[in-house]
A = this chain, B = another copy of it.
Amino acid sequence: MTGKTAAEARRTSIGAQRNPASQDAILQAAEEILVENGLGSFSIEAVARRAHAGKPTIYRWWPNRAILLLDVYHRQKYVDIAPDTGTIETDIFQLLSGLFEFWSAGHGGAVFRSVIAEAQTDPAACKAVAAYMADRYRQGGEIFRRAKARGDVADWVVPELAMEIITSFAWKRLLTDRLDMTPEELRLVVRHLVHGFEVT
């Protein structure tokens, strides 16, 4: 027992097994760097410094930047992707509203932006993101399956594709730094999505 605080104390091996304290410190340091200084300042060296960890420790468990980024992102716990409010329109409003709030209020937005950017460099990360999104569409498609059962949504609508269209808009707003939408603006977007453009 030294006089150092927990943050200053040097972590060491706990035997021939992974040290959860190091794992946490590394992931948290990585998240902090992303949120405070962005992907530009994100490097394994910087994470190691901030976490008081050795570079080999990081490389041992996260073979590259992209995997570390994905791990940071998956720690962010996310809002309900399939709210059930009774109407398709308010379901989608709730979904987008929650997503925008999650991205702008907390750390989720900064982290996810970084993941998407990294995916443009790393093909494996790109596939991982695409697979993750496909899973999201499957989950969120529940909104449309319920709505179909109620008779509120047309038969030919493909739940997963509709979800992709909806979240695509959210992506673009995130990537162009335009998450600040009023409820009225967001309602207008939802109207375009739900009613389409045609005169009915």
Contacts and interface: CB of A to CB of B under 8 A. Distances in A.
Copies of this chain assembled into the complex = 2
A83 to B, nearest CB: 16
A199 to B, nearest CB: 5
Interface residues of A, number: 53
Contact of A151 (B38, B39, B130, B199): B199
A40 interface: yes
Interface stretch (A16-24, A49-57, A158-166): A158-166
A178 B130 contact: yes
Interface stretch (A7-15, A72-80, A99-107, A117-125): A117-125
Contacts of A191: 156
A134 B160 CA distance: 28
Nearest to A118: B117
A130 B173 CA distance: 9
Nearest to A143: B197
A41 to B, nearest CB: 9
A154 B119 contact: no
A39 B154 contact: no
A25 interface: no
Given A169-B165, A191-B156, A196-B193, A176 B129 contact: yes
A200 interface: yes
A120 B39 contact: yes
Given A133-B176, A164-B169, A192-B162, A39 B198 contact: no
A153 B196 CA distance: 9
A114 interface: yes
B120 A158 contact: no
A189 interface: yes
A43 interface: no
Contacts of A129: 176
Contact of A161 (B118, B121, B188): B188
